[in-house]
Amino acid sequence: MKGRIAVYPGSFDPITNGHIDVVKRALAFFDKVIVVVSGHSRKNLLFTTEERVALIKAVYNENTRIEVDSFNGLLVNYLAEKGINRVIRGLRAVSDFEYEFQMVLANRKLNNNIETVFLMPGEEFFFISSSVIKEIALLKGDVSSMTPKVIVEALKKKFNY
């Protein structure tokens, strides 16, 4: 792969406007960002890995600087397979940093060549999380200001309304 490439891993269940803002900010530093959906998660997932990949591809269908992929297992193994050593992570709050700091140290222990770049979304996105969006959508609330239209429609379909 040519150019400066970074991987933005996550569960993205579903992708939010905060995630999208982080990708936009990452493109100021990198030529390409690969949004990588984790197939393994301790979280209670609403969408399958395949559904999440398809939804994110629909969000970014016009942008050639963004790829969408998925992986199972350790991120460091995915990075090694792709020949990439840059990771993007979004931070909203101090509590995010504690978890992310642990992950950076664990990844460095497994592969010292990996560098992680932390980016903060715009403050209008600080309160948005996939969990909040799912909870609001489950109760038939309006999430159209928090996530793209394709995701809103997918949530309505998932929750049968």
Which residue among 43, 140, 149, 156 is the active-site one?
A: 43
Residue in 36, 31, 27, 32 with CA at minimum distance from that of residue 8 = 36
If 0-12 CB within 10 Å is exposed, 13-18 middle and 19+ buried, where does residue 79 land? buried
Q: 60-68: list long-range contacts, CB under 8 Å, 24+ apart.
A: 60/23, 60/35, 65/27, 65/31, 65/32, 65/33, 66/23, 66/27, 66/32, 66/33, 66/34, 66/35, 67/32, 67/33, 67/34, 67/35, 68/34, 68/35, 68/36, 68/37
At residue 90, the 3 state secondary structure works out as strand
Is there a catalytic annotation at residue 43?
Answer: yes
Is there a catalytic annotation at residue 19?
Answer: yes
> What is the token pair recorded at 9?
């891993």
Which residue among 11, 19, 32, 86 is the active-site one?
A: 19
Which residue among 11, 38, 70, 130 is the active-site one?
A: 130
Is there a catalytic annotation at residue 130?
Answer: yes
Which residue among 25, 57, 65, 92 is the active-site one?
A: 92
Give the residue numbers annotated as catalytic, written as ranges: 19, 43, 92, 130
